[in-house]
A = this chain, B = another copy of it.
Amino acid sequence: MNIVGVFKALCDENRLRIFNLLSKDTLCVCDIEAILNMTQSNVSRHLNKLKSEGIITYEKKAQWAYYKIDDNFIKENKLLYDYLISTLRNHPKFVEDNENYKKHKESNISCEQFIKKGNQH
């Protein structure tokens, strides 16, 4: 584990916003895009950075890529992980994102199911 790399990955506001979301849920790129109101390429790039430092992993299902916090990262960095969770939870910077996440979740079960029901993004 490269501690400098981990901190570099976590020192960007947008990546912390993504981390905050993924600490609540497994999400695909388009979910994150919508909740955080960021461009697709930007989200993809940030996810890649987090992934390359071992902080998150993803699983490809059909055309979607579902990202989540890496269990190994949590295990090997328990104190840091707990710090992030407890700090991000109540941090004013992320309140709006948390609200948008709730709204998104209520309106849009998952990309997969959403589309099966005949919708389009």
Q: Which of A7-15, A36-44, A59-67, A99-107 contacts B (4 or more CB under 8 A)?
A: A7-15
Q: Chain B contacts of A87 at CB under 8 A?
A: 3, 77, 80
Using a Cβ–Cβ cut-off of 8 Å, how many residues does chain A contribute to the interface with B? 19
**A83 touching B91 by the CB < 8 A rule?**
no
From B16, B79, B88, B93, contact of A82 by CB (8 A)? B79
Which partner residue on chain B sits nearest A82 by CB separation? B79
What are the interface flags for A81-95 relative to B under an 8 Å C-beta threshold, 1 for contact and 0 otherwise? 011001110010100
From B4, B11, B83, B93, contact of A79 by CB (8 A)? B83
**Which 10 residue pairs across A and B have the least CB separation, nearest first?**
A79-B83, A7-B11, A11-B11, A80-B83, A8-B11, A4-B13, A7-B10, A79-B79, A79-B82, A3-B87
Residues of chain A at the chain B interface (Cβ within 8 Å)? 3-4, 7-8, 10-13, 16, 77, 79-80, 82-83, 86-88, 91, 93
